[in-house]
């Protein structure tokens, strides 16, 4: 049994008091006997973690954690007393070497705690550094305390290439952009039961980019997957974007069980090709850069592989004011392109409403179904949906379009 507090930690009945302002949390992590070849150690903790730097930061720092072998820890909070304010991770071992096949963080998962970023002065208070690799990182059964008036853009910013697990999180204070915004990595990432309000853009954004972690290449048959389910987004999207946004990420993507209710000009789901997924000639100015190669496109030439969007019993209402007022939305509820194999499932209990009800419920290939080409004209991919199938009842859907032309879900009905 291990317990950590701000100024001490206790392991197997022996207490270690810190001196010189050293964090008991940091020392408990640094001395954990677990590593990549053992079961994860559970470190129970209480009090406030005001700052923590794992696999990065100054050597000898009060809040830094460096190890000779990978960290493999579950941080289990004491309910009501465990609060995290700031966390940054990197990928360096104690001797400063980097091993992206065996990252310095094998597992670091926090649970049963409060994440309080209401006084944070940085845009990303909980952040994995860009250009780094990690194993499993995440948060479970957490309450987020935040305010839209702070400088915080995103609560959990997973810049690293890793396997992310975010489940059972309530965040009703909002932020300028997202609750969780993560980059693709090896393994099965899960975003489940996330309840957010007042986020300027959305709840989840997942990306696969050549401009970030360019050394990571996704192999289509290595079991990578992305599951996003049981997402609640209320009064989100005042800055646009969508409640759930995916650009690339994995060969197998599942999105299901959404509750989206907002008056803003936003979408519920945006699944699309993003220019940053391709190889660019100027990664620091991607909006004006030229495409020069396929980058992180799949071998099929699509941004996404097999995608299942299961909206059975889901409720989606975007771009609507109170009754009698004008619609604010010009965006479809669902915006999807560049998939190799796409399934869309609905039921009689599904409710989809965008704008005044006359706006598009679904627009496939909303950027057109044309080729994605380099600046020299070489085709490297396509915005088209290769195979599209529907299943269930679509009576609640409003207008549906494909590449700018009206369509019906019945045209694509198929037995599952």
Q: What angle do CA 38, 39, 45 make, to 5 degrees?
A: 125
**CA pair distance 21, 88, nearest whole angstrom:** 19
Tokens (6 digits) for 317: 């209402």
By CB atoms closer than 10 A (0-12, 13-18, 19+), residue 78 is middle
Q: Write out the residue range of the structural domain in which residue 118 sits.
A: 2-412
Task: Report the chain's C-alpha Rg in angstroms.
Answer: 22
pLDDT (tens place) for every residue of the chain, 416 residues total: 999 999 999 999 999 999 999 999 999 999 999 999 999 999 999 999 999 999 999 999 999 999 999 999 999 998 678 999 999 999 999 999 999 999 999 999 999 999 999 999 999 999 999 999 999 999 999 999 999 989 999 999 999 999 999 999 999 999 999 999 999 999 999 999 999 999 999 999 999 999 999 899 887 777 789 999 999 999 999 998 999 999 988 789 999 999 999 988 899 999 999 999 999 999 999 989 999 999 999 989 999 999 999 999 999 999 876 555 555 657 899 999 999 999 999 999 999 988 766 688 999 999 999 999 999 999 999 999 999 999 999 999 989 999 999 999 999 998 65
Phi, psi of 29 (to 5 degrees): -70, -45
Q: What's the confidence (pLDDT) of residue 329?
A: 59
Spatial contact of 364 and 336, defined as CB atoms under 8 Å apart:
yes
Distances, alpha carbon 69 to alpha carbons 14, 66, 110, 162, in Å: 23, 9, 20, 18
What predicted TM-score, i.e. pTM, was given to this entire model? Answer: 0.95
- pLDDT at 328 (0 to 100): 60
Which CATH number does the domain housing residue 187 bear?
Answer: 2.160.20
Q: How far is CA 315 from the centre of its chain?
A: 21
Distance, in Å, from the CA atom of 199 to the CA atom of 147, rounded to the nearest integer, reads: 10
CA-closest candidate to residue 274, choices 293, 287, 256? 287
User: How far, CA to CA in Å, does 37 sit from each of 40, 72, 135, 358, 390?
Assistant: 9, 9, 13, 56, 44
pLDDT of residue 322: 52
d(CA 211, CA 117) in angstroms, rounded, equals 28
* DSSP-derived 3-state class of residue 214: coil
Which residue shows structure tokens 């009064």? 235
Structure tokens at 175: 């932020």
pLDDT at residue 403 in the model: 96
Q: Which residue has 């907002």 as its token pair?
A: 262
Q: Is residue 373 classed as helix, strand or coil in its secondary structure?
A: strand
Give the residue from 86, 96, 177 showing the smallest Cα distance to 127: 86
Report the number of distinct structural domains present in the chain. 1
- In DSSP notation, 55-74 reads S-S-TT-TTEE--SS-EEEE
Alpha-carbon distance values, 21 to 6, 43, 158, 304, 399 (Å): 9, 20, 29, 48, 62
Residue 321 is predicted with a pLDDT of 61
The pair of three-digit structure tokens given for residue 69, joined into one six-digit string:
């072998």
CA distance 311 to 256: 6
């Amino acid at each position: 049994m291990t317990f950590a507090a701000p100024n001490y930690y206790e392991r197997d009945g022996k207490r270690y008091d810190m001196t010189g302002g050293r964090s008991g949390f940091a020392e408990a992590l640094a001395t954990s006997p677990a590593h990549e070849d053992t079961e994860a150690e559970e470190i129970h903790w209480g009090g406030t973690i005001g700052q923590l730097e794992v696999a990065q930061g100054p050597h000898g720092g009060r809040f830094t954690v460096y190890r000779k072998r990978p960290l493999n820890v579950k941080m289990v909070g004491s309910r009501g007393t465990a609060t995290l304010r700031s966390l940054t991770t990197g990928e360096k071992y104690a001797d400063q070497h980097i091993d992206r096949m065996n990252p310095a963080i094998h597992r670091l998962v926090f649970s049963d705690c409060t994440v309080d970023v209401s006084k944070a002065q940085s845009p990303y208070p909980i952040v994995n550094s860009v250009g780094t690799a990690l194993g499993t990182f995440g948060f479970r059964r957490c309450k987020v305390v935040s305010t839209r008036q702070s400088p915080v853009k995103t609560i959990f910013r997973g810049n690293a290439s890793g396997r992310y697990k975010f489940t059972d999180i309530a965040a009703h204070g909002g932020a300028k952009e997202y609750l969780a915004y993560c980059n693709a990595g090896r393994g099965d990432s899960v975003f489940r039961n996330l309840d957010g309000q007042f986020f300027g853009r959305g709840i989840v954004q997942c990306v696969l980019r050549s401009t970030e972690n360019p050394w990571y290449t996704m192999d289509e048959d290595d079991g990578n997957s992305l599951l996003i389910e049981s997402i609640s987004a209320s009064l989100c999207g005042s800055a646009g974007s969508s409640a759930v946004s995916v650009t690339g990420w994995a060969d197998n993507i599942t999105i299901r069980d959404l509750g989206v209710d907002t008056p803003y000009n936003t979408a519920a789901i945006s699944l699309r090709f993003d220019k940053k997924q391709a190889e660019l000639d100027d990664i620091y100015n991607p909006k004006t850069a030229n495409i020069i190669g396929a980058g992180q496109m799949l071998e099929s030439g699509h941004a996404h592989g097999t995608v299942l969007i299961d909206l059975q019993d889901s409720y989606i209402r975007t771009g609507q004011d109170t009754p009698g007022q004008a619609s604010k939305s010009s965006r479809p509820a669902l915006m999807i392109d560049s998939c190799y194999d796409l399934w869309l499932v609905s039921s009689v209990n599904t409710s989809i409403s965008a704008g005044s009800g006359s706006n598009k419920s679904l627009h496939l290939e909303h950027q057109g179904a044309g080729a994605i080409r380099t600046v020299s004209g070489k085709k490297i991919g396509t915005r088209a949906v290769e195979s599209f199938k529907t299943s269930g009842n679509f009576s609640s859907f409003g207008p549906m379009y494909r590449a700018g032309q009206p369509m019906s879900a019945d045209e694509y009905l198929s037995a599952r």
